[in-house]
Chain A
Amino acid sequence: MNQEKTKMKNSESLVPGEQEFYKRLQSRHQWGRIGKAFNMFSIGIAILALIALFFNVANEAFGTVGIVNTIEPETLTNGRPLEDLSNDELSTILADNVGKRLRVLIRDNISQVPEDEFTSATVADIVGDPNVDSAIANEILKDLEVEQQATLLANYASTATLRNLVLEEVVEQQVIASFSLSDTIFNFDAIKAEIEGTILDDYKDKNDNPDANVEIIRYYSWLNSDFLTTPMSSTPALAGIRTALIGSIGLMVIVIVVALPIGVGAAIYLEEYASDSIINRLIETNVRNLAGVPSIIYGMLGLAIFVRALAPFSSGLIFHYNFDVPTVDTVVNRIAPLLDNEIEYTNGTIISNSDTVDTQTAQRVIDTFLYYGTPTLSMMGNSDITDLSNSLAHALDTDVDVLQVRSSDEADIEIHGTYYSFEVADDALILEETFDSLMASLVRINSFSPNGRTLLAAGLTLVLLILPIIVINAQEAIRAVPYAIREASYGLGATRWQTIWNQVLPAALPGIMTGTILSVSRAVGETAPLIVVGASTFLVTDPNSPFSQFTAMPIQIYQWTARPQGQFGDIAAAAIIVLLTLMLSLNAIAIFLRNRYSIRY
């Protein structure tokens, strides 16, 4: 009796009545809807994040800027518009305002000789015109009067170039305010008032320039053609991504050239040749584990192996490639013309018998030293920069204030990553002994060891990083080729390699290419390993060989993002757009290849 009751109860709770059933069903469906909503919400968040990310980048890369001229063009030209001026007038303005920098302008704009021969070349060689005024044709440029140099510029540069030079060198436009795209769209009146009010006043006070006018550009794009074609600068508005773009493309080329054959080779071995032996299983497992190793670890591997252990290789030393690996002799030869070839090098000291050393020459010599000393200096740490600064200060006699820093950075010497720049004051008097001791201290500090922090080392590091991914992708592509094709090939008498080369690879190629391009696209976006192997953070010369110092777009973005000034954030956003465009076009190519050439069996 009792048992029956329990049974009844149990069966009651197991099988609910109709009413109860519908009630529960309702609640179950309710839960079902909640579950579905959450799942949709999840993917919604992911999409939202993507939208926020793109919006955020666009918001910073475009917007409103306020531009101020350091010197108003009208004051230079007595009210005439810049467009109306002739070559002579423009070059006179340049000569009046930039003085000794005129030589640099000539070098950068009209010189026909390589940069390293510039200082010792004759005027005729420089302008590449044997019919130049015979009075100066065989002179060296630095011996000319400023007026003569200005005439050279006027005769050999185009009006447009000169006008640009005036704008860059004399008018010196500065961006004093920058606002985001959303502000520009919704709040333009307020920011206009702010720029013309407080920001402009602030600028006037700080720069002692009460006549300054601000030009406001609405919908200014930080991403413009100049941005793509100019190198790095410490002024955000003038900075470009050219060197980084070239660096990234260089890395891409190295990665494709090296990683593709090795990765595909490994995949072919694993899929077509490898028997089920311990070593082959180890390789297989190992490839999969390597794909999960954090990228920064690869950077450290690259630093220890490619940058340090293989420095003679990665710096091009063993190929006698004398780009960034000078010997003391190279440097001595390089500076000899600056000192009228009156130079002698013994036991770590350079003795110059030149009677006078003008400050320009001293500047060039120091720059030459610093440029070639860069590899070692960059490794010596901050304390040694102080040492260097002290030696220089000592050698140049700080009493006459000869050591100046080019930018207004707080540090004694501005550190552009691995490049240290000094400026010697124009009125400095440098005694010969002083100069010699300066030489000695510089030679002592720079031991000219090979610098392995090159494009090649970074490229090889990235190769190791993406190799496992290429192998896995290629394996899948090869596996997708049906076995029947191989058997047919064998059946026709082909050898194993003939089968692979003539049948399997062509069939798997679209898949392999797709995987490789996607991997390369990942390599292009990698930052951490490049930081560790020592990408330059400030590089103004284009990398022109695998043995050059390099920088890459992600590095540039990281550098700019890490800087506190707001305008660096804007150019970082612009650089991100360039990087994403590059990567997305790579991906688009991959998808196109997949859809166009993939063979379905």
Chain B
Amino acid sequence: MSELQISETSQKHKKAVHKSIDLRRKVKGHEILIQGFLFFCGVLSIFTTLGIIFVLGNESIAFFTRDQWVNTNRALLMDIDEDTTQFTVQAGFEDVEVGNTLRIGQEIMEIVDFQNNTIKIESIGTGGGFRQWCATDADLDEQNAIRPQIVNASREITASELEQCAQVDIEPIEFRVGTDALAIVVSADNEFITEVTMDELHLIFGEAEIWSDVRPDWPNEPIQLIIPGEDSGTFDYFVETIFDGDASLLLANEGDDVTRINEVITSENDNQLVGSINRDPLSIGFFGYAYYLENSDDLHIINVDGIKPSAESVEDNSYPLARPLYIYSDADTMQRDPQVASFIDYYLTHMNDVIGEVGYFEASTAAVDEAHANWLGAMGEAQLPDIVPANVSGHLQIAGSSTVLPLSESIADIFVTDGFVPSFGVKRGIRGENTVVSHAAGITIEINDRPTLVEFFTNTSWIPAIGEFGVIPLINSTLMTSAIAMLVSLPLGIGAAIYLSEYASPRVRNTLKPVLEILAGIPTVVYGYFALTFMTPLLRSIFGIDVVNIYNTASAGIVVGILIIPLISSMSEDALHAVPVSLREASYGLGATKLETVVKVVIPAALSGMLAAFIVAVSRAIGETMIVAIAAGAGPNFTFSPFESAETMTGHIARISGGDLSYDSIDYNSIFAIGLTLFVMTFLLNVLSRIVIGRFREAY
């Protein structure tokens, strides 16, 4: 019975106890809610990080994929309606490729076909033209020049030039395009000279110093020669005709056998020659007849041997200073670049239509026939094909004589007018909201110039207004201010930490630590004010006002350094403090001085913590904004001088977002791209500091 009773009571008791200690049942709904809320609070930090990554990443992607429309100053040549997919434009484009987009008005089109039909004619003299044509690739690269496909020449190619061409496997083919008469001209104010003989020309441009040396009745005044430069075919031709190829007399002022009173004035620019001759009544010069015609009001032409240059006198060779004009090309080029062959064909067919207007004289029929034959020979065809310029495509590079230039230019003009213009084939309606509309001729074309990742990290200028987005100058100045800051704060911070941890008595330490805490608690904008109104004037008084800019990275860097001294010293001091006293005592026991103990025992033991302090400090210096925004200056500047102004990444973000920032602008996107770069840099540094603490910690 008693057993039973006992067991009963014990069961009762058990039940009661069981009831009262089942605490878990007491957990009410609200506690679960509370726990849920607390968990949410914890998770919020993860949302924050994700938010940062998402926002920065999202806007950075927008930055790199955003259309950046750059005005090209090139316009539509024709009206285009909704159905047009092929149209021509005024001038060529350098950096357009198939697959790019372009914008006309508000409509965006994709380029599916692009013919960059352009003609470029350079005036570098006949000799210069041949030299460039037959230069080696290496030489061309060095001079940053392009090999012409056609050379304008106001004389025949010489043997030595042929030889040079042979070295680069160019076999020049000559096309006679007309005849130029060399005009001997004086100022319109010159009244004493109307005609000369060939011998007198030899004297005037040779030994004679004053006019009366040539004819006694001419004035007793020095002769001023104003002539084309040595690179021009005109010069070569003149020297060939008058001096049998010996230029030394003409350029005697450069030698010393004949001394002239006035220097010979030379210029490759014919208009300059015209002006100079016109201004000086005692001057004389020569150049192509075409230039005389253009400037016949300012200049007088002189008969040579009694004959005035004209179509007849040139044709029958009675005018002694007439010369042939050529263009040169070679068979390989003509076959490889059909536009060259077409252009020469067109040239030969149409040159006689324009040559009179240009001021030259037609070449004889025989010479033109020979040129035709040369073309047919080069192309292996039987008959000159009819050229429709609109069907020709490609780029034409022409260089050489300034004498042939006007002729080639007018041929090029009619070639372009007849349809040799850049043209686009496009796909319309490529984007959903982008409506296809018609556009009038003359409207400007914009091309898309998106910043690329490569450009972002390699371009050394950041000028959003012209589409230059290179983050290097910003990173550079950020690193500069950070480096200066570390130079200041690292020794001082560690010194302060060692003093507080190893030397200072507890009383001194308790007084000094709050001072450092105050230093750490001062808002950075106040430090910015300090940098601008105290540190900068100080630097300027030390190094000179001319040397130190008002806004400079040195001042900002030093003050950032002062800002992070407390950070380094407090983290380092914690690390030093964690080193067990027994280590120090062991060191003292071996007879080491305090400094030796600190340097050889305590610091090595605390190294991981101090290294982490260093890394965190760098990260802080990189991310510091207000000091650099105030004191380092506005405007990205790629410089290594600490006394110049240079905007940092953070300073740029602050300045751009502080202005009236449009959310729909590349500026807005760009600060997020900079922000992402900054975030990655500081994040990596923070992670690194954690690794350093974990890996190199000396456990005691």
Q: Which residues of chain A have a CB within 8 Å of any CB of chain B?
A: 28-29, 31-32, 34-36, 38-43, 45-47, 49-50, 52-53, 56-57, 60, 261-263, 265-266, 268-270, 273-274, 279-280, 282-283, 285-290, 292-301, 303-305, 308, 377-382, 384-385, 415, 418, 464, 467-468, 471, 493, 495-497, 518, 521-522, 524-528, 531-532, 534, 537, 554, 557-558, 561-562, 569, 572-573, 576, 579-580, 583-584, 587
B432 interface contact, C-beta 8 A = no
* Contact call B45/A46, Cβ cutoff below 8 A: no
* Contact call A293/B35, Cβ cutoff below 8 A: no
* Contact call A43/B41, Cβ cutoff below 8 A: no
Residues 157 to 177 of chain B near chain A (Cβ within 8 Å): none
Measured in the bound complex, the distance between the Cα atoms of B44 and A305 in whole Å is: 14
A57-B678 contact, Cβ under 8 Å, with A266-B38, A299-B657, A497-B34 = no
* Contact call B27/A495, Cβ cutoff below 8 A: yes
* Contact call A558/B44, Cβ cutoff below 8 A: no
CB distance from B471 to the nearest CB of A (A): 15
B518 interface contact, C-beta 8 A = yes
Residues of B within 8 A of A532 (CB): 653-654, 657-658
Residues 516 to 531 of chain B near chain A (Cβ within 8 Å): 516, 518-519, 521-530
CB distance from B430 to the nearest CB of A (A): 28
Binds A, one of B256-264, B495-503, B579-587: B495-503
Residue of A nearest to B624 (CB): A294
* Contact call A300/B55, Cβ cutoff below 8 A: yes
Residues of A within 8 A of B527 (CB): 53
* Residue interface mask B4-20, A partner, CB < 8 A = 1: 00000000000000000
Measured in the bound complex, the distance between the Cα atoms of B659 and A322 in whole Å is: 26
CB distance from A40 to the nearest CB of B (A): 6
* Contact call A580/B653, Cβ cutoff below 8 A: no
Residues of B within 8 A of A377 (CB): 660
A46-B516 contact, Cβ under 8 Å, with A304-B55, A381-B662, A497-B31 = yes
Among candidates A47, A286, A518, residue contacting B515 with C-beta atoms closer than 8 Å: A47
* Contact call A286/B496, Cβ cutoff below 8 A: no
A561-B529 contact, Cβ under 8 Å, with A46-B519, A380-B662, A467-B44 = yes
* Contact call A558/B593, Cβ cutoff below 8 A: no
* Contact call A379/B654, Cβ cutoff below 8 A: no
Residues of A within 8 A of B565 (CB): 42, 45-46, 49
Residues of A within 8 A of B616 (CB): 292
A283-B43 contact, Cβ under 8 Å, with A522-B521, A561-B528 = yes
- Nearest first, the 7 A-B pairs at minimum CB distance are A294-B623, A525-B523, A42-B495, A265-B41, A39-B499, A528-B625, A269-B38
CB distance from B387 to the nearest CB of A (A): 48
CB distance from A423 to the nearest CB of B (A): 21
Residues of B within 8 A of A587 (CB): 521
* Contact call A296/B663, Cβ cutoff below 8 A: no
Binds A, one of B218-226, B275-283, B683-691: B683-691
* Contact call B45/A558, Cβ cutoff below 8 A: no
Residues of A within 8 A of B48 (CB): 290, 301, 464, 467
CB distance from A286 to the nearest CB of B (A): 5
CB distance from B371 to the nearest CB of A (A): 57
In the complex, which of the residues B59, B527, B626 has the most CB atoms of chain A within 10 Å of its own CB atom?
B626
Residues of B within 8 A of A471 (CB): 45
Q: Number of contact residues on B: which range applies?
A: 35 or more
Measured in the bound complex, the distance between the Cα atoms of B665 and A304 in whole Å is: 14
CB distance from A270 to the nearest CB of B (A): 6
Residues of B within 8 A of A268 (CB): 38, 41
B672 interface contact, C-beta 8 A = yes
* Contact call B503/A296, Cβ cutoff below 8 A: no
Residue of B nearest to A283 (CB): B42
CB distance from A502 to the nearest CB of B (A): 13
14 contacts between A and B (CB under 8 A): A39-B496, A45-B565, A46-B515, A262-B44, A265-B42, A269-B42, A270-B42, A294-B625, A295-B623, A303-B657, A304-B58, A495-B31, A528-B650, A557-B529
A300-B675 contact, Cβ under 8 Å, with A32-B593, A266-B38, A292-B619 = yes
B198 interface contact, C-beta 8 A = no
B697 interface contact, C-beta 8 A = no
A289-B51 contact, Cβ under 8 Å, with A38-B495, A56-B534, A558-B630 = no
Among candidates B38, B494, B525, residue contacting A554 with C-beta atoms closer than 8 Å: B525
B388 interface contact, C-beta 8 A = no
B605 interface contact, C-beta 8 A = no
Residues of B within 8 A of A580 (CB): 522-523, 526
Residue of A nearest to B689 (CB): A292
A266-B45 contact, Cβ under 8 Å, with A293-B623, A528-B625, A572-B529 = yes
* Contact call B499/A43, Cβ cutoff below 8 A: yes
* Contact call B495/A579, Cβ cutoff below 8 A: no
Residues of B within 8 A of A497 (CB): 31, 34-35
A573-B37 contact, Cβ under 8 Å, with A42-B495, A532-B654, A587-B521 = no
Residues 571 to 591 of chain B near chain A (Cβ within 8 Å): none
B46 interface contact, C-beta 8 A = yes
Residue of B nearest to A29 (CB): B593
Among candidates B40, B44, B594, B625, residue contacting A36 with C-beta atoms closer than 8 Å: B594
Measured in the bound complex, the distance between the Cα atoms of B690 and A471 in whole Å is: 18
Residue of B nearest to A274 (CB): B42
A378-B660 contact, Cβ under 8 Å, with A56-B534, A521-B521, A525-B522 = yes
* Contact call B518/A31, Cβ cutoff below 8 A: no
A296-B533 contact, Cβ under 8 Å, with A379-B661, A379-B663, A382-B660 = no
Residues of A within 8 A of B49 (CB): 286, 289-290
* Contact call A269/B41, Cβ cutoff below 8 A: yes
In the complex, which of the residues B42, B616, B629 has the most CB atoms of chain A within 10 Å of its own CB atom?
B42
B566 interface contact, C-beta 8 A = yes
B595 interface contact, C-beta 8 A = yes
Residues of B within 8 A of A415 (CB): 660
Residues of A within 8 A of B46 (CB): 282-283, 286
* Contact call B566/A46, Cβ cutoff below 8 A: yes
B399 interface contact, C-beta 8 A = no
CB distance from A84 to the nearest CB of B (A): 44
* Contact call B663/A266, Cβ cutoff below 8 A: no
CB distance from A510 to the nearest CB of B (A): 18
* Contact call B523/A573, Cβ cutoff below 8 A: no
Among candidates A527, A534, A573, residue contacting B625 with C-beta atoms closer than 8 Å: A527
Residues of B within 8 A of A280 (CB): 42
Residues of B within 8 A of A300 (CB): 55-56, 653, 657, 671-672, 675
Measured in the bound complex, the distance between the Cα atoms of B53 and A460 in whole Å is: 18
Among candidates A31, A561, A573, residue contacting B595 with C-beta atoms closer than 8 Å: A31
Residues of B within 8 A of A382 (CB): 659-660
Among candidates B660, B675, B686, residue contacting A381 with C-beta atoms closer than 8 Å: B660
* Contact call A35/B598, Cβ cutoff below 8 A: yes
* Contact call B59/A561, Cβ cutoff below 8 A: no
* Contact call A305/B55, Cβ cutoff below 8 A: yes
* Contact call B31/A537, Cβ cutoff below 8 A: no
* Contact call B503/A558, Cβ cutoff below 8 A: no
CB distance from A60 to the nearest CB of B (A): 7
Residues 625 to 670 of chain B near chain A (Cβ within 8 Å): 625-626, 629-630, 650, 653-654, 657-663, 665
* Contact call B525/A496, Cβ cutoff below 8 A: no
* Contact call B41/A60, Cβ cutoff below 8 A: no
